[in-house]
Amino acid sequence: MIPKNISELVTFSPNRFEPIHDWFYYKEGYAKKLVEWLVKEYNLEGPIFDPFCGSGTTVLAAKQMGIESIGCDVSPLAVLASKVKTRNYEVETLKKKLGEFREMKVPPEQLTPRDERLRKIISRGNWEEMHFLKKKIEEIGDEKARDFFYLAMVDSFGAVAQVVKVGGSLRRAKKNVPSMKKFFERKCERMIRDLERGKKGVEPEVIEADARVFNLEENSIGSIITSPPYLNKIEYTTVYKLELILFFKVQETQLRAFIGDEPQNIRGTKIKIKNFQKFPPIAQAYFEDMEKVMVNCFRCLKPKGKMVIVVAGGCLPDRIIQSDEILCDLGQAIGFKIIDIIAAREIFCHANRSIKIGKVRESVIVLEKPEV
């Protein structure tokens, strides 16, 4: 039975109230409870693979359910968040290190951002505290502890910066915030409490990799649950721009979407979709990329294994494209059998931010690799 709140479950919002899942807000994600429902409803078996793992909802939910899983993403920020959320920790080690941070005094170094735009969104005091914390965290020898505190620092910076994430952009906004160091310490306290209340499980494998070519052994994956970038969406290159530039030294990024790359069809065939060539170039590039991902997933799935895709249609200046229909056509051409297409919600599509040109569907597609 389809959950009554399926329209909410295809968003990240419910995760804001889930321990560990809420350690890093990732607006493009879906809910932990969606993964749990999918596993039970379709008898999904492990290992579960998420080729666009984002901040780790699939792999963390799988770990909490006692299922082995693997995730990959091209964003170093997403990979860090997924790893930190799904690791097992020595809690006492984290507590001890947090105590050391509390005792540290930030020396007044008179640091200010070189970029004028940064100076407008963060105070000199918080900038100094961020640099101090970053330096001290990078000195931690234990990788798990270092990454744990690094994610807390990255999230804390986003909280104290005078910006908000709106749609696909960053906007300046005045906020009453505490010091960076105090916010960071409170964030770490809450994260450690979540660990104390939770249970350890099998850590998933999380890798920074391109979903189109990530090489898993043939017939080695039990199930796939994922949500690829949505057609004509640019959030992946803008809303996390600050974090990527400051903490990962990423200047130019396509993150999870590789729209516009030179087409290299792994399977050696052309996409067999009616009127495909009439699509705008950006849509052609998108579906060429998605074919590569789906071919790769088909290869690594075990026979009778299922692939679940959460995807929304594309809103282009002159038309809408229902991506679920195209992906189902692609899936059948590759060899998948369609099990279900669940329309979770409809989203109004606007051209030039004001002209309403229709609605696109956000859907959950369930495909199966035949036994023979």
Instruction: For residues 348-352, give the mean pLDDT.
Output: 76
Q: Is position 153 within any domain?
A: yes
Q: Which range has the worst mean pLDDT, 4-8, 66-70, 257-261?
A: 257-261
Q: What number is the average pLDDT over the span 206-235?
A: 90
Total domain count, the chain = 2
Residues composing the chain: 372
Whether residues 216 and 68 share a domain: the answer is yes
- Is residue 341 a part of any domain in this protein? yes
Alpha-carbon gap, residue 83 to 147, rounded angstroms: 8
d(C-alpha 252, C-alpha 234), whole Å: 13
Please state, rounded to an integer, the average pLDDT across all residues of the chain: 87
Q: 359 and 228 in one domain? A: yes
The reported pLDDT for the residue numbered 236 is 56
* Residue where a domain terminates, one of 169, 197, 225: 197
CB half-sphere exposure, 173, CA atoms < 13 A: 13
**Alpha-carbon torsion 126, 132, 133, 138, what sign?**
positive
What the block records as the tokens of 288 is 């060429």
253 occurs within a structural domain: no
Give the structural domain span for 159: 91-197
CATH of the domain at 332: 3.40.50.150
Q: Do 189 and 225 belong together in one domain? A: no
**Average pLDDT of span 328-356:** 88
Per-residue model confidence (pLDDT) at position 125: 85
Residue 138 shares a structural domain with residue 50? no
| Inside any domain, residue 244 | no
Q: Specify whether 317 is located in the same domain as 300.
A: yes
Per the CB < 8 A criterion, the answer to whether 195 and 94 are in contact is yes
Tell me what percent of the residues of the chain surpass a pLDDT of 70. Answer: 85
**242 lies in a domain?**
no
Question: What pLDDT does residue 26 have?
Answer: 82
Distance in angstroms between the alpha carbons of the first and the last residue of the chain: 29
Q: Which residues pair with 221 in a beta bridge?
A: 301
Q: Write down the pLDDT at residue 147.
A: 98
Residues 216 and 312 in one domain: yes
Please report which confidence band the pLDDT of residue 281 belongs to, taking 50, 70 and 90 as the band edges: confident
> Given 151, 173, 197, which residue is the final one in a domain?
197
> Does some domain include residue 248?
no
Same domain, 77 and 208: yes
pLDDT in tens, 81-122: 999 999 999 999 999 999 999 999 988 776 666 666 676 778
> Lowest-confidence range among 238-242, 289-293, 349-353?
349-353
CA distance linking residue 114 with residue 221, whole number of Å: 47
Same domain? 193 vs 205: no
Lowest-pLDDT range, 35-44, 53-62, 155-164, 318-327?
155-164
The encoded tokens of residue 5 equal: 């709140």
Residue 256 banded pLDDT, cuts 50, 70, 90? very low
Mean pLDDT over 239-263 rounds to 63
Asked whether residue 165 falls in the same domain as residue 208, the answer is no
Lowest mean pLDDT among 19-28, 250-259, 301-310, 342-351: 250-259
Same domain as 332, residue 212? yes
Do 270 and 150 share a structural domain? no
Residue 188 has a pLDDT of 98
> What per-residue confidence (pLDDT) applies to 346?
92
Is the pLDDT confidence value at 190 over 60? Answer: yes
Domain assignment present for residue 251? The answer is no
| One domain for residues 111 and 224 | no
Q: What DSSP state is assigned to residue 257?
A: -
Could you tell me if residue 14 is inside a domain? yes
Decide if pLDDT at 32 tops 50: yes
Complete DSSP assignment for 154-211: HHHHHHHSSEEEETTEEEE-------HHHHHHHHHHHHHHHHHHS---PPPEEEE--T
